[in-house]
Amino acid sequence: MKEQAVAGIKPIQIVRGKASTVGKVRRSRFVKQLKWRVGVVVFIMFSLPVVLLPRRVAVKLGELVGILVFQLFRRERLRSIENIQGSLSYFERNGGLDPAYGSPYEIARRTFAHFGKSVVEVLKLYYGFGREIIDSVEIRGLEHYRKASERNKGIIFVTGHCGNWELMALTFGARYAPVSVVAKHQGNQFFDSAIDKLRSNFRNGVIYTDGAARKVFYELRQKSIVGILLDKVVKPEEGAMVDFLGRLAWTPTLPAIIAAKTGVPLVPIFIHREGDGHVITISPILDLSGDDTSDMDSVAITQELTGHIENYIRTHPDEWMWMYKRWKNVE
């Protein structure tokens, strides 16, 4: 009887254990959903009054909020300063930074101010109050885009976390041709759908990183434009380590591999602030005439493309995302 009683208890204990685990999962999902909803409500409450302000006032407010975030978020502030300090030797070997940019602390502070302004600009576009922002963007180097279009193979726009890169894609989509941007999920259903809506309003699309290669090939077969941020960390199977600002960093090789195999033109494109507006600069097509499809060549092409981002950062050091963990997963 005793053995039977003990034996009879075990299944109940297992079931209770499973029930407890299920309960924890459900509570975790509920808390996550609650946080999302609270975040959405807070986002709307604070963003709507801002976008209703005149453009210059709203952007100035975004700048001040960015500076406040710089002061309050110690971990991100220190990471930005450390990343700049870790790149100083690279800058010195390549002509140095203009002394007017100041110390790493000052550059990092202006970086946060810049991103505060960028968020406000994107918010205005999301709520439908930012058409003047799109119309005021100057575009230089359109002849390089037209030359790439003449190849009739689609185009890969290569850029980085430089300037207001979201505005750059939206502007090009609104004024010239749609751009499908490769991006990762935000981890929040509301923000994912909001960004998707914003991009679609300006004729653009999004290719999420899960299974991105197949979708990129599809878009290019349709002779479309695909935009790829090259300065993001990827898994070893998705890229290679190349030199970035004097240190090795995992970098996606997908653009280089596709271009080497298919002849799709790689076109570096960037945006920077100039006065109260923005300027998009389109560079000539990357010359691949001496390359083939070997892995080493893909790395060499990726390194050359990375050089365009480095050139941008040397010229506009306070408009690159220094708070990003660009050099992680590198031993």
pLDDT of residue 293: 47
Instruction: Of 212, 186, 210, give the one whose Cα is nearest residue 198.
Output: 186
Q: Confirm if 317 and 101 have CB atoms less than 8 A apart.
A: yes
pLDDT of residue 73: 95
Quick one: DSSP state of residue 186? -
Token pair for residue 172? 């090009």
Q: Is the pLDDT of residue 113 over 90?
A: yes
Q: Confirm if 301 and 260 have CB atoms less than 8 A apart.
A: yes
* pLDDT tier, 124 (very low <50, low <70, confident <90, very high otherwise): very high
pLDDT of residue 192: 80
Burial of residue 45, with CB atoms counted within 10 A of its CB: 0-12 exposed, 13-18 middle, 19 or more buried: exposed
What pLDDT digit, counting tens, does each position of 291-306 carry? 444 555 899 999 999 9
Q: Is the pLDDT of residue 205 over 60?
A: yes
What pLDDT digit, counting tens, does each position of 221-276 carry? 999 999 999 999 999 999 999 999 999 999 999 999 999 999 999 999 999 999 99
pLDDT of residue 211: 81
Token pair for residue 181? 């941007």
Rounded percentage of the chain residues whose pLDDT exceeds 70:
85
pLDDT of residue 295: 53
What pLDDT digit, counting tens, does each position of 41-80 carry? 777 777 888 889 999 999 999 999 999 999 999 999 999 9
pLDDT of residue 174: 96
- The whole-angstrom separation of Cα 275 and Cα 136 is 11
Q: Is the pLDDT of residue 148 over 70?
A: yes
Q: Where do the structural domains in the chain lie, given as residue ranges? A: 2-115, 136-319
Q: Residue 127: phi, psi to the nearest 5?
A: -85, 0
How far is residue 159 from each of residues 35, 107, 228, measured CA to CA in Å?
A: 33, 21, 6
Q: Is 282 helix (H, G, I), strand (E, B) or coil?
A: strand
Q: Are strands 277-282 and 138-140 parallel, antiparallel or unpaired?
A: parallel
What pLDDT digit, counting tens, does each position of 279-289 carry? 999 999 998 86
Q: Residue 263: phi, psi to the nearest 5?
A: 80, 10
- The whole-angstrom separation of Cα 84 and Cα 63 is 20
Largest CA distance in the chain: 89
More confident residue, 92 or 291: 92
- The whole-angstrom separation of Cα 193 and Cα 186 is 10
Rounded percentage of the chain residues whose pLDDT exceeds 90:
71
Which residues, at least 6 apart from 17, have a Cβ–Cβ distance to it below 8 Å?
A: none
Q: Is the pLDDT of residue 3 over 50?
A: no
* pLDDT tier, 322 (very low <50, low <70, confident <90, very high otherwise): very high
- The whole-angstrom separation of Cα 45 and Cα 197 is 19
pLDDT of residue 331: 67
Which residues, at least 6 apart from 238, have a Cβ–Cβ distance to it below 8 Å?
A: 252, 253, 254
Token pair for residue 327? 């050099």
Average pLDDT, the chain: 88
User: The tokens 């390549």 sit on which residue?
Assistant: 94
Q: Is the pLDDT of residue 210 over 90?
A: no
Q: Is the pLDDT of residue 196 over 80?
A: yes
Give me the residues paired with residue 229 across strands: 159
- The whole-angstrom separation of Cα 104 and Cα 83 is 9
More confident residue, 44 or 312: 312
